Chains A and B, each alone.
Chain A
Amino acid sequence: MTDILNAIVLFANFVFVPGLAYGSQLALGALGVTLIFSILRFANFAHGDTMAFGTMCTILVTWWFQSMGISFGFLPTALLALPFGIFLTILYVLGTDRMIYRFYRKKKSANIILMMASVGVMFVTNGIVRLIIGPEDQRFADGERFVIRAREFKEMTGLAEGLAIRTTQVITVVVTIMVVAALFWFLQKSRTGKAMRAYSDNEDLALLSGINPDKVVMVAWIIAATLATIAGTLYGLDKSFKPFVYFQLLLPIFAAAIVGGIGNPLGAIAGGFVIAFSEVTITYVYKKFLAYLGPDGWAPDGLVQLLSTDYKFAVSFVILVLVLLWRPTGIFKGKVL
């Protein structure tokens, strides 16, 4: 019996809790991609680097706060800096829209052209971030590190395995729930949110109803920038901030948005968790886990790891390809790219 409990705790510690946090971060990222896709009708490749930009802004403000001796108690100072980071990112994103995307929108360019323009924005943003903060790893999490430490958990339960829950993981999940609830309330109940859904559903009819397309586009960018900054900051707090890693995050985020059904906010969330848990469960080493469940004294010879963690991006890529082949609309019937 204790063996089974140990196995469960082990699994929770190394798969479930990290997967939950990672899934939340992907879900927030995918929500931004899906939102831009449904309003501006193109796949925004710059989203990963927008996350990097937003996180960078948050980190810079965090450092400034820390230098002034401002802290947030047991919570990371970055949470205090987050609104400032969001604000700066909104300005940056609206700037890119004004300078680049608006031109193609007025010309009624094909979606593929807008998408390629976003690849350009991605490279430029990437360069700006590295120029300002540098390409190195940055750790900016402060405050209390753990909610439950592995040692405390072992003492509490008397089990051989410990369950550690980091503050950043709890913050990630709590913030994600709050943000998603606010976003859904906005889209379902508010006048502007409904107008955005109407515009996404049927652009011509939305125009006939007097919905202002410029306003809808602006609000979409503001929400996307907010989501990107929050997702990026949570990811950076949980792991660390490195611009190149954020660029790589684009793949799992797109996979999440498409698996869930692009254009569908609910799908983006589901997709985020599907991708995160696939990645974590496939790259996890099951040796110890199986040893607990098997007969006493027995342990598998190998590591029982399906795929090395070096290949974790292959997981999202394979899922992406499979979904595009067999169910291009995704789990929740989004649009076809």
Chain B
Amino acid sequence: MSYLIGDAMTGGYGGADILHDCTIAVEKGEIAVIVGPNGAGKSTAMKAVFGMLDMHKGQVRLDGADITNMSPQDRVKAGMGFVPQNNNVFTSMTVQENLEMGAYIRLEDFSDTMEQVFDLFPILKEKRKQPASELSGGQRQQVAVGRALMTQPKVLMLDEPTAGVSPIVMDELFDRIIEVAKTGIAILMVEQNARQALNIADKGYVLVQGRNRFTDTGAALLANPEVRKSFLGG
């Protein structure tokens, strides 16, 4: 029984189905990565788990409870954090205000959570008074992840967190994500950089045309000659 599971999901954005019987699951403290070619439905699968998709078959369960019909906002309150791929920070607001907005639903004092985020991403503490629009791409991603962490989620969902950042920044972001997972948070991530992502993944899902093609541990997928040949460039 997985902590979060999107079970046999079928559905799309109103038109033709994009996902067909697709299953994605993640355990507490683990990193699950969804990889696959362009148009495979990676982001769609993630959005389905977060309730941003019309699903007419399948179920999403969080900690055993059926949340299939819950709105994305309610899923945030239920302990799911989501970092969209684009427009994932409030550009006109300072780093600190971005984090405060992440904690909007928490009425209690959240300064300790903010300190934890600053410990995780020290550069954000330095730039806390700067508008997010003045940050580099990698720093913005840190703000975006930090914002999602402010609700103290039990599951963190990241849609291509390393899109458009340099390889060095990517490695650094992955290191941070591993640290987050070690605190017991379940991490579900869509990634373009399949090889590096599978390297840190406990579990990998290779999707093709909205269907599960390969599902295994990250290491096993990296070792699988068929996966290597078709999806990792040999």
Contacts and interface: CB of A to CB of B under 8 A. Distances in A.
A209 B87 contact: no
B88 A209 contact: no
Interface in A255-298: none
Given A198-B90, A201-B91, A202-B90, A207 B101 contact: no
Contacts of A198: 90, 93, 97, 101, 104
Nearest to B83: A208
A209 B76 contact: yes
B6 interface: no
Given A202-B87, A204-B87, A205-B88, A195 B72 contact: no
Nearest to B92: A201
B91 A209 contact: no
B96 to A, nearest CB: 10
Q: Report, as a range, how many residues of chain B touch the other chain.
A: 20 to 34
B84 A195 contact: no
Contacts of B77: 210
Nearest to A195: B104
A209 B97 CA distance: 12
A211 interface: yes
B104 A210 contact: yes
B91 A208 contact: no
B104 A201 contact: no
A208 B87 contact: no
B84 A204 contact: yes
Interface centre among B73, B84, B91, B104 (most CB of A within 10 A): B104
B76 A202 contact: no
B105 interface: yes
B12 interface: no
Contacts of B88: 205
A81 B102 CA distance: 41
Q: Report, as a range, how many residues of chain A touch the other chain.
A: 10 to 19
A206 to B, nearest CB: 7
B73 A210 contact: yes
Interface string A206-239: 1111110000000000000000000000000000
A194 B84 contact: no
A194 B72 CA distance: 21
Contacts of A209: 76, 101-102, 104-105, 147
Nearest to A263: B92
Contacts, number: 56
A312 interface: no
B75 to A, nearest CB: 9
A265 to B, nearest CB: 12
A207 B72 contact: yes
A191 B107 CA distance: 10
B100 A194 contact: yes
Contacts of B72: 207-208
Given A195-B101, A198-B101, A208 B93 contact: no
A211 B104 contact: yes
A155 B82 CA distance: 72
Interface centre among A204, A205, A206, A208 (most CB of B within 10 A): A208
A105 to B, nearest CB: 16
A208 B105 contact: no
A198 B92 CA distance: 8
A197 interface: yes
B97 A194 contact: yes
B87 A194 contact: no
Interface centre among B90, B91, B92, B97 (most CB of A within 10 A): B90
Given A194-B97, A197-B92, A210-B77, A205 B105 contact: no
A56 B56 CA distance: 55
A283 to B, nearest CB: 37
Contacts of A195: 101, 104
B89 interface: yes
A316 to B, nearest CB: 27
B73 A205 contact: no
13 contacts: A194-B93, A194-B100, A195-B104, A197-B90, A197-B92, A198-B93, A201-B90, A206-B101, A207-B72, A207-B73, A210-B73, A210-B76, A210-B151
Interface of B: 72-73, 76-77, 82, 84, 87-93, 97, 100-102, 104-105, 147, 151
Interface of A: 191, 194-195, 197-198, 201-202, 204-211
In order of increasing CB-CB distance, the 6 nearest A-B pairs are A210-B105, A201-B90, A198-B101, A201-B92, A209-B104, A209-B101
Given A195-B104, A205-B84, 19 more contacts: A194-B97, A194-B100, A195-B101, A197-B90, A198-B90, A198-B97, A201-B91, A205-B90, A205-B147, A207-B72, A207-B73, A208-B73, A208-B76, A209-B101, A209-B105, A210-B73, A210-B76, A210-B151, A211-B101
